[in-house]
A and B are shown apart, each in its own frame.
Chain A
């Protein structure tokens, strides 16, 4: 069994044996406190990724809840995990793909879904932002979900292609090409608005 702790020297999260954490003696299940800590540290990033990937707030909550239920029922999943954020993003991605497969028609009906998309971006103070945000939300919705996942992790998580490839379990070149295609489509779609606000 293991818990997630922050390495004080480099700030990285590492998995630590539960025996070395005072409140978690060997043989004990992870406490609610562990889940709370996981939630506090990672839920916002997972929420952003899932909301961008699924384009639906209900699905995002379902996947997030399924993820935490899975971690609660199978704490051994976190054994030897060195980068919990990447691991959790991978789990979320797999759960979201499963959910989308179960629901089947969602990916095939992008146009029909456009009307029921959840708001992704937070309001900001700039005057030009609402139009740009709206256009960006629509443009992102037009990307295939796998390109959207790579674009999100690169732009909003700041990950390297190596990290993205490892988390999504795809080849490095695939991660790079998905990002390039995705950003090119966004650039083309948003060029008029971007030129205005530049």
Chain B
């Protein structure tokens, strides 16, 4: 730093106005965010606004659960197997009999065996070409 620069730096900059401190710090204090509440969260905070509504939701949910269980019990595999097989409704056998009568065929028409589902374990193995 040469003499000229020293001469410049020796010039004192005027002091900050004293009344600024109060103004600036009070403005800053207004900008300070209020501290967050540190209380622990409780279920009451959630349920308090309208406990009747939450009680209604709980009752409806229990009703749905009860109905769901009762329906599930009725549709177990044992109850499904015990149900009678519905009669074929396609009328194929009836049409075959009428046709035989018209044609004078005395032979008995072949009776289509009703479909009886088999277990998977009794099914013939299926060869799959890869």
Report A's interface with B, CB cutoff 8 A.
27-30, 32, 35-36, 39, 43-44, 47-48, 51-52, 61, 64-65, 68-73, 119-122, 124, 129, 132-133, 136, 155-156, 158, 183, 186-187, 190, 194, 197-198
Contacts and interface: CB of A to CB of B under 8 A. Distances in A.
Contacts of A72: 28-29, 31-32
A68 B12 contact: no
Given A73-B31, A136-B11, 10 more contacts: A27-B38, A48-B13, A52-B13, A69-B27, A71-B28, A72-B29, A72-B32, A119-B14, A155-B8, A190-B4
6 contacts: A29-B33, A32-B28, A36-B25, A68-B27, A156-B9, A194-B7
Contacts of A183: 4-5, 8
Nearest to A187: B4
Contacts of A136: 8, 11
Contact of B14 (A65, A73, A120): A120
Interface residues of B, number: 26
A36 B29 CA distance: 10
Interface in B1-58: 3-5, 7-9, 11-16, 20-21, 23-25, 27-33, 35, 38
A73 B33 contact: yes
Contacts, number: 93
A178 to B, nearest CB: 14
Q: Specify which of A35, A119, A129 lies most central, judged by the most chain B CB atoms within 10 Å of its CB.
A: A35
Contacts of A44: 15-16
Interface of B: 3-5, 7-9, 11-16, 20-21, 23-25, 27-33, 35, 38
A68 B28 contact: yes
Nearest to B13: A48
Contacts of B27: 65, 68-69
B12 to A, nearest CB: 4
Contacts of A132: 11
A32 B11 contact: no
Nearest to B9: A155
Contacts of A70: 31
Nearest to A71: B28
A121 B16 CA distance: 11
What 9 A-B pairs are tightest by C-beta distance, nearest first? A47-B16, A68-B28, A72-B28, A69-B31, A122-B14, A48-B13, A155-B9, A72-B31, A73-B31
